[in-house]
Copies of this chain bind each other. A is one copy, B any other.
Amino acid sequence: MAVTIRDVARASGVHISTVSRTFSAPHLVNPNTRSRVLAHAEELGYRPNRAARALITGRTYNIGLIVADIANPFFPPLIKAAESQARKHDHHIFVADTNEDAALEEEVVRALAKQVDGVLLVSPRMSNTLIERLSREVPLVVVNRQIAGIPAVVMDVARGARTAVEHLTALGHRHLALLGGPRGSWTSREIRRSAAATARAAGAELTIIGPNAPTEFGGLTVAQDVLRAGATAVLAYNDLMAIGLIEGLMAAGAGVPADVSVVGIDDIMLSRLTRPKLTTVATPTAAAGRAAVDMLLAHGDDRRTTAHIHLQTELVIRDSTGRGPGPHSPADPGDVNAPEGVAS
């Protein structure tokens, strides 16, 4: 076994509790003793065993972070930001990937519960009821889900969807399609609700297609459905689906944006690199990761206050959207010929 507090105590000629205090309450120990202990600790390569410490204090200095699919480019920037923010507060992050499986989410939260100070549930697929139950077993912060009594960081995708639909109707599109996300996704429901309301207000038709897998393949496979429905513009649940859809449309001989306009959501790095460059609703993923960590650490023991943080989204207009068959509004916020623009 490695070097323990006892070794340091022996080397320094003090009791182990003094060594303990040197690390966990330095102000309680005589400066001379402290520096002596520190010196010996350094020399022996001593590091307090966090697990042992946690057994008493109840604080592990670990955070669990659960995502549906690490390989989905939406998540890594969020994970990275969370990890970096956690490290600032001397915490480590356990990352778990649940393969878009709601049942696995529960299992993983339970498995992690004892060795973390709290869990970040990002875009969970499980039910509200279950989340509420789990939040009684371990402090939870949810990202992209609103539940009364559960601290949350949510991106305002409803507003994003509205802006996107308005962009499309302003371009003269009268028949839109919405590619829904996976079952259990709160974000997907929000988008749907908002897109439907906005389309109705603009007098445009909206065909809902889905639920779909939130992947490139999920988008690719519904290209035919979009064409069959006769939609000239599509809002997809996320960029990956949008990119897959564009591939599928082009393979079917439809031009983007000549025949069909496509808007994604997320603004993953990829969306600037595919051709045509994707018009999309940018979501502040890194900010969400940081905010979620801050919330979890702030809440700590105080489980009463339950804030919900709302993060803004914004439409980034690129090359995958263009004029529709109908008259386009003179109030069109996006100049389609400009190389890149942002409308919020």
A residues neighboring B (CB under 8 Å) = 1-2, 45, 47, 49-52, 54-55, 58, 60, 62, 69-71, 73, 75-77, 79-80, 83-84, 87, 92-97, 99, 110-115, 137, 216, 243, 247, 269-270, 273-275
Q: How far is it, in angstroms, between the C-alpha of A62 and the C-alpha of B92 when the chains are bound?
A: 12
Contacts of A1 in B (CB 8 A): 58
Q: Which interface residue of A49, A77, A243 has the most chain B CB atoms within 10 A? A: A49
Report whether B93 and A96 are in contact in the complex, using a CB–CB cutoff of 8 Å.
yes
- The answer, among B50, B71, B84, for a CB contact under 8 Å with A97, is B84
Contacts of A80 in B (CB 8 A): 69-71, 97
Number of copies of this kind of chain in the complex: 2
Given contacts A71-B80, A274-B273, A275-B275, contact A92 B94 (CB under 8 A): yes
Could you tell me the distance in whole angstroms from the C-beta of A286 to the nearest C-beta in chain B? 9
Given contacts A1-B58, A71-B76, A71-B77, contact A111 B92 (CB under 8 A): yes
- The answer, among B58, B71, B73, B79, for a CB contact under 8 Å with A95, is B79
Can you show 21 pairs from A to B with CB atoms below 8 A apart? A47-B110, A47-B113, A49-B55, A50-B114, A51-B60, A52-B55, A62-B94, A62-B115, A70-B76, A71-B80, A73-B76, A76-B76, A79-B97, A83-B95, A83-B96, A84-B97, A92-B112, A94-B94, A216-B269, A273-B273, A273-B274
- The answer, among B55, B87, B92, for a CB contact under 8 Å with A51, is B55
Could you tell me the distance in whole angstroms from the C-beta of A310 to the nearest C-beta in chain B? 24
Report whether A55 and B58 are in contact in the complex, using a CB–CB cutoff of 8 Å.
no
Contacts of A52 in B (CB 8 A): 51, 55
